[in-house]
Structure formats: C-alpha cells, structure tokens
C-alpha cells in the first residue's frame, strides 16, 4: 500500500500534534512518524501512546531531510521561529503546515520568509479539548472536525491538495478560507467564546458554584483550557477578537434592554432567533 | 413498604414534572402519582412514558383531595395562579411545592395567599436539558442535581423535612437558601448564562457556524432551551439578572483591557483564575 506521505515530522507533541501522530500511525497514512519536542518526558509519553515511531528533543537534520511533510504543532507564537530554524537546517523540498488557530500573521510571515522549496499551507483543525498535552491525545480527535486551510495565490496547488488529503484522511471536513477571513470567523466561533466562558466563570460568586447544573458546566467548559496557550492565541488575533467582542456586546445590550423594559414577547423572539442559529451547529 | 407519600399530584407534565413522576414511580416513592396537564396529547405521552399512574386535563377535586403532596411544575408565572385555584378547590391539609427557578416573588405571594392547611415549601431542582416536554423526561434527571429549597421563618419544619426527603429520594443534593439569596445566585449560575449563550449564538455570523467545534457547541448549548419558558424565567428575576450581567460585564471589560494592552502575562493569569474557578464545578 502506498502511504500518503513517506515520512511526517511533527514538531510539538501536545494535544494536537500527539493526536495527529496517533491518527497517522493508526491509519497507516505515513511510512514513518517522527516527533520533535523539547522535553524528554513528553517524548517518552508520545512513544508510549503510539503517537510517533521515533523522535528527538533536538531538531535532527537527517530526520527532517527524510520528511516530505513537516507539521508545526507548537503554540502560535513559536510557529514562525520554528519554521525559520527548520528552513535553515534543511536543503530539500517538502510540504510544511501548522495547526495554529490564528492564521493571518503566520501565513504572511511564512510567505515572506520561506524559500520556494518549502511549500507552506496554513492549517487549523477546529478540534480540541479542555484537556491538553499528549496524555489527552486521541486519534479520533479530528473526526468530523472542520479543518480550515488558508491558501493564498502563492500557495502550491499540489501542496494544498496533499494537505487537504491529510486532514480528510484523519476524518476532518476540509474548508478553504482566506487567512484574514479565517481569523475573523474563528474569533467569533472560538476565541471570543473562550473569553466569554472565562468571564462567566469569574463572575459567579464562589457560593454559587455548588449550585451549578450541566448548563453552567457546559457554558464555562472552555474556561478549563490551558491558560497560557489561550492567552497566546488571543494576543495573536487581538483585532478580530475585539471586533467579535463588539458584536457580542451589541447582542448582550439588546437582551439587557428587553429585560429592563420587561418586553417578554420580544425577549422570547430574540431567544428563538438564538435557538435557530444554534441549531445550525451540528454537534 | 411504606411510601414517602400516599399520593402525589403533579401539575404540569413538562420535562421537570414528567421526570419527577417517572422517578417517583420507578422508586415506588408514592402510592400513586396523578398528573394534571391542559393537553390531552401530553397526558397520553405522560401515561405512555410511565410518568403518571393516572391524570386529567382538568383539576379534579377528588384526586387533589386524596393527595398529601402537590407539586406545581408549570412555568414560573403560572405557579401562583395555579396554587390559588388548587387552594380554592380543596379543603384538606397537604404539602405544596413548586419547581420554578425564581423563588422570591413566588414564596412571598404563596405565604400571603395560602391558608395554613396548605404547607408550602419552595423548591428548585437545578436540573434541566436543552430539550423540553415530557418526551425528554428522564427519571435520572435529578441524580446528583442541586435541589434548592427556600424555607422562610413561616415554613413548616415538617413540610420542609418531607420535601427534602422527596428530592433526596430522587437522587438530588438538597441545599437550603433564603429566597432572595437563591434568586441572586441562580441569576449568576443559570439565568444570566442563558442570556450569554444566546448572545454568543446570535453574534456569530452565519458563515462561522459550519466551523464550530465542540467548544462553541458547549458554550452555546443553553441557547437551545425553550425560548418562551426562558423569557418568562428571565422576566421573573430581572433585578438579579441585571446585577449578574453587571458582574459579567466587569469581567469581560477586564479581559478586553488586557487584550487591548497586549498584556499576555496578565491575561494568562486571569484565564488561570477562571480555570481554578471552573474546576470547582463538579460536572
């Protein structure tokens, strides 16, 4: 059987990198999966969980050189620095992708910096969990997940096709978006809701918490996410998150006004519109 | 075996009334469970689901007269009118409770209006689902749920003990709160989060919805709840919800300021505080 990739190198073995490694190996999608991570303990866990065939705590030029796909699965601010280092250590041609949840800045800097032999395609699998790290990795993480790719006019069509098959092969639904549009939509559907969940958790009195039912638990589940990762994600998409916050504020103010006026029928109508909107979400 | 109650009459066979009936019957906690609902179709479904032994679409004085517990499980605005009607139709002594999620106004009006022979205890089981109606009823709905009782100095201790055993017998954790305190805490942990979930759903562009992952689905799940019921709930607890909205706004503004300033370390600290708070929620 021909593999989709000869060898895949994954840089960063957290929840996403680890899950991708597991999915690639289970599906026999790559001849070999190599992992790079700074910490020895993480590498041990990744090996034990079957997320990589082999790996190293330093970049190894030989292993990079044998990879036809490199996936950078580090937090967003380190994606470009990691790509720069990898570029300097290699001479061969390969496809490069990342999984960061902000794309505009990364795609722009990658296109400015990378040599032509490295064919970059920005990816963002909309999959996650409030748990983090390779210990939470799960080969089914990407099943039915929207995998957003952000090609530009400079993106290699062949590389785009290969990266699309990667995400489809691990179960994702591939959607193409311009990087700027991606950042705006993801701010609305992911980044700003993280902040709202955090604000909801923070605003409840401690005395109220033992009263919480499943509704509050669901609404605030995102507040369990890794704080330093999410702080970094939010900072990389500030402008769009601020715009999404304004959209949210307008809706909240509208609901508050109806409440103040005691406008039951209007409030019910707004809640019905929200229900219709929410029903479009498939999960 | 002695039952906890000779006969329980449940007025309103929606999600809560239906689930309570099922739990009572499964646990053999009552000699008989009688249901009252306006619609014939609902009564048929309630019978089919095993939520009642018998029932009627009109109040039946004989059945009410044979009940030692009456539970009003209608939407909040009809609780007091229903209690008034029941009071007029009966001459015997019984325990009365409700399940409405706002308590201050209801408890005050009940105490003003009801004769001494009707011993009222306000209840609010913090259990629910985005689904509604007896078709969504579930005898395990109250398992591990906080069941909030709101006694006052005028509440019969014996009735309070009996209503406490009712909720414990169906699996709930009973907590006692003053009615006003109940309304303030529940505004923070349930009512305001419903509005926030609705505003989140409303503020996302239609184009963003197919991108949504589990995080957005969870955060907005409450927006699926019955709009007219929730509009009614919100209107009955306006003042406290407005106060909870102010608490939430302060937290959102704080996060927004950190974002504007690009204060990564501070933002991360705030998100960590939210994570700690959320971890106190047991679900």
The answer to whether the CB atoms of B203 and A248 lie below 8 A apart is: yes
**Would you call B256 and A270 a contact, using CB atoms and an 8 Å cutoff?**
no
Q: Say yes or no: domain A5-177 is CATH 3.40.50.720.
A: yes
Segment B212-223 shows an average pLDDT of 95
d(CA B244, CA A145) in angstroms, rounded, equals 34
Phi then psi for B228, rounded to 5 degrees? -75, -35
Q: Is there a contact between A230 and A76 (Cβ–Cβ < 8 Å)? A: no
Q: Which residues contact B200 (CB under 8 A, 6 or more apart)?
A: A192, A193, A196, A248, A251, B216, B219, B220, B223
Chain A environment of B267 (Cβ under 8 Å): 231, 234-235
Q: How many CB atoms lie within 10 A of CB A257?
A: 12
Q: What percent of chain B has pLDDT over 90?
A: 96
CB A191 within 8 A of CB B219: no
Tens of each residue's pLDDT in chain A, 283 residues: 689 999 999 999 999 999 999 999 999 999 999 999 999 999 999 999 999 999 999 998 999 999 999 999 999 999 999 999 999 999 999 999 999 999 999 999 999 999 999 999 999 999 988 888 999 999 999 999 999 999 999 999 999 999 999 999 999 999 999 999 999 999 999 999 999 999 999 999 999 999 999 999 999 999 999 999 999 999 999 999 999 999 999 999 999 999 999 999 999 999 999 999 999 997 6
Average pLDDT over residues B265-273: 98
What pLDDT score was predicted for residue A129? 80
pLDDT at A283 (0 to 100): 64
**Parts of chain A belonging to CATH 3.40.50.720:** 5-177
Mean pLDDT of chain B: 96
- Tens digit of pLDDT for each residue in B97-153? 999 999 999 999 999 999 999 999 999 999 988 888 999 999 999 999 999 999 999
Q: How many CB pairs under 8 A join A and B?
A: 316
A228 burial type by CB count under 10 A (0-12 exposed, 13-18 middle, 19+ buried): middle
Cα–Cα distances in Å, from B61 out to B10, B64, B67, B88? 14, 5, 10, 10
User: Quick check: B283 and A190 CB within 8 A?
Assistant: no
CATH 1.10.3660.10 in chain A, residue ranges: 182-279
pLDDT of residue B128: 81
- With CA atoms as reference, the chain A residue closest to B255 would be A195
Mutation for A interface: B173, B265, B273, B278, most A CBs within 10 A: B278
The correct answer on CATH 2.40.30.330 for the domain covering B182-279 is no
Which pLDDT belongs to residue B142?
Answer: 97
Distance between CA atoms of B275 and A202, rounded to whole angstroms? 9
d(CA A241, CA B119): 53
- Shortest Cα distance, chain A CAs vs residue B76, angstroms: 13
Nearest residue of chain A to residue B186 (CA atoms): A208
Q: Which of A217, A227, A278 sits opposite B224 (nearest CB)?
A: A278
Find the residue in A nearest to B127 (Cα).
A213
**Which of A145, A204, A224 is closest, CB to CB, to B189?**
A204
Distance (Å, whole) CA A236 – CA B171: 46
Helix orientation angle between B192-203 and B238-261, rounded to the nearest 10 degrees: 50
Judge whether residue B232 has pLDDT over 90: yes
The CA distance from B101 to B124, in Å, is: 6
The distance of A122 to chain B (nearest Cα, Å) reads 16
Q: How far apart are CA A177 and CA B214, in angstroms?
A: 20
């Amino acid at each position: 059987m021909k593999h989709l990739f000869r060898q895949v190198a994954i840089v960063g073995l957290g929840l996403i990198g680890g899950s991708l490694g597991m999915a690639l190996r289970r599906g026999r999608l790559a001849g070999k999966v190599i992992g790079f991570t700074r910490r020895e303990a993480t590498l041990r866990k990744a090996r034990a969980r079957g997320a990589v065939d082999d790996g190293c705590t330093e970049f190894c030029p030989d292993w990079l050189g044998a990879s036809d796909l490199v996936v950078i699965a580090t937090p967003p601010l380190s994606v470009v620095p990691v790509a720069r280092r990898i570029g300097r250590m290699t001479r061969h041609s390969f496809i490069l992708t990342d999984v960061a949840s902000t794309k505009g800045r990364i795609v722009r800097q990658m296109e400015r910096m990378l040599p032509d032999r490295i064919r970059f395609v920005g990816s963002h699998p909309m999959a996650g969990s409030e748990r983090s790290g390779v210990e939470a990795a799960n080969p089914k993480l990407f099943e039915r997940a929207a995998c957003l790719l952000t090609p530009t006019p400079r993106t290699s069509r062949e590389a785009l096709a290969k990266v699309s098959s990667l995400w489809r092969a691990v179960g994702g639904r591939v959607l193409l978006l311009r990087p700027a549009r991606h950042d705006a939509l993801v701010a609305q559907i992911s980044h700003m809701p993280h902040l709202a969940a955090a604000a909801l958790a923070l605003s409840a009195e401690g005395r109220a918490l033992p009263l919480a039912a499943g509704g509050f638990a669901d609404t605030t589940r995102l507040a369990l996410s890794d704080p330093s990762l999410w702080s970094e994600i939010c900072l990389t998409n500030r402008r769009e998150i601020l715009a999404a916050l304004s959209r949210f504020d307008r809706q909240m103010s509208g609901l508050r006004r109806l409440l103040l006026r005691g406008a039951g029928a209007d409030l019910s109508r707004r809640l019905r519109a929200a229900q219709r909107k929410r029903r479009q979400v498939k999960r």
